[in-house]
Structure 1
Amino acid sequence: MARCARHDHACGRCDTPLPFDFTMAFQPIVDLEAGGIRAYEALVRGPQGESAGSVINQVTDRLMYRFDQACRVKAIELASHLGMREPLSINFLPNAVYEPEACIQATLEVCERVGWPIERINFEITETERVKDRQHLRSIIDAYRAMGFTTALDDFGTGYANLDLLTDLQPDTLKLDRELVRDCDRDRRRQAIVRGVIRLAAELEIQLVAEGIEREAEALWLRDQGIFLQQGFFFARPALEALHPQLAERLTPYRRTASHS
């Protein structure tokens, strides 16, 4: 595994052992146009399914890099073991990536070991409020794209994951935050904002995913606006070390082709 020598004082050795165990749950991102599962997002959990927070609270600044690397490896290994054929989304902490080319080595090695195609990995950028160096984040996205990965900006529309990021960054996907999605079927203000984001994404040639779908009416309204890629408890909760192979049958009533939008 590679070592980031220039920032060794911050991240320590890449083989620093983690003092806790963790695993992954997988939540599908569905495609209401195709009527199937488009991708899965890997979400960290405790060994017995404990919350992500219970795990992340144990991650100190010194362990951040090692934890970020371990999450990538664990997600890819489990996805391969479960026979996943869809793309895999993995969250990453921008501040844990010191040098993109060096810090990606563990990911490349596990992909080669288990036979996972690089083009089936999407990195979701999280915790953008902690990113002080916007140019560094841009360099990460550019480097990942050059290697064949895709990237997504998570929690878009709230907090620090906001419009100004798009002046510098060109992610492949924007994931609309639950705060915008909630009650979008009956809240005119949210509807106006979502429609604006749809136009913006189209202009910038960025794909949209709506996350945090908890009600059928939300899913249908977003689908009718042309946001076919959706994720949330309404479709499926994260499954601990498991997939959702039967979900396609449940999606059939919600299919709608783009020509009807």
Structure 2
Amino acid sequence: MNKTPSCSSCRDGKALDFDISMAFQPIVDVAGRQLFAYEALVRGPARESAGSLLSKLNADNLYAFDQSCRIKAIEWAAKLQIPAMVSINFMPNAVYQPETCIRATLDAAQRYNFPLNRIIFEVTEQEQVLDIDHLTGILRAYRKQGFMTAIDDFGAGYAGLNLLADFQPDLIKLDMGLIRNIDQDHVRQVLVEATLDICRKLNIRVIAEGIESAAELHALQAMGVELFQGYLLAKPGFQTLPTVNYPPER
């Protein structure tokens, strides 16, 4: 799935032959006790995991899956009346021409009356994208349309600082491998502090994802992180918006 599809393969590819639904996990400004966004996470209609769905993908249905996820995320975001941004994951290897592949997203937003300025397009750095120019072209096209952009799993993928040199997204999400037990790990603290300094200078907001303990959260707050996502705050809600469990203030 590393080869970007051509126009004909997207047009003539098979329709998605399995159903999908969505779960939502909040991204919050903990200090301000405010919702920033909900990430839309693909699930099966009977709560099947994302992994079980991704295992069904091939060259014929990759494009249909990516498009279906975008539309389903907007449909459920509108149905649940999400009061914040919604972050939608996309697969760059499924996008052949950004301006063409975005049409279904624009149509869905209009159909479900969901504001375009509340959509974030998020790409994981862990997906191997052999053509970085193709990825940055997609991100630039989405920004031109007025969407916010985010890089997920930053620090664990194939591009890293090289990607930031070519394109500066609105947001990056620190990989949970850097977050885990950061309150006890000096090396992780140094690496995250250096990343935060870069992001401040480039005017990129940082989200710490995978937060599982109050100690991790407090350590990152002390470094200047404001936005958080993880089981400590809320697990993903299947077809619902889970309640945020804000930790007690210190």
Are the counterparts in 2 of residues 94 and 126 from structure 1 also a CA contact under 8 Å?
no
Q: For 1:130, which of 117, 128, 131 is the aligned residue?
A: 128
Tell me the percent identity: 48
How much does 1:223 deviate?
A: 1.3
Looking at structure 2, the residues matched to 164 and 57 of structure 1 have their Cα atoms a distance apart, in angstroms, of 29
Map residues 1-261 of structure 1 onto 2, 5 A cutoff.
Answer: 7-13=6-12, 16-126=14-124, 128-244=126-242, 246-247=243-244, 250-251=245-246, 253-254=248-249
Q: Normalized against structure 1, the TM-score is what?
A: 0.90
Equivalent pair of 2:75/2:112 in contact (CA under 8 Å): yes
Mapped partners of 2:18, 2:249: distance in 1: 41
1:97-125 deviations in Å (ceiling 9; x for gaps):
11111000000001011111111000111
Q: CA deviation at 1:126?
A: 2.1
Measured after TM superposition, the shift of residue 50 of structure 1 is: 1.3
Change (3 A) 1:154 1:161: farther
Report the TM-score, using the length of structure 2 for normalisation: 0.94
What is the rounded CA distance, in whole Å, between the counterparts of 1:143 and 1:117 in structure 2? 18
Deviation at 1:138, TM superposition (A): 1.2
CA contact (8 A) 1:121 1:150 kept: yes
Matched residue SS, 2:246:
helix
SS class of match (1:174):
strand
Unaligned runs of 5+ in 2: none
Equivalences, count: 246
Distance of aligned partners of 1:127 and 1:46 in 2 relative to their CA distance in 1, 3 Å threshold: farther
Deviation of 1:154 (Å) = 0.6
Cα distance between partner residues in 2 of 1:243 and 1:172: 24
Deviation at 1:60, TM superposition (A): 1.0
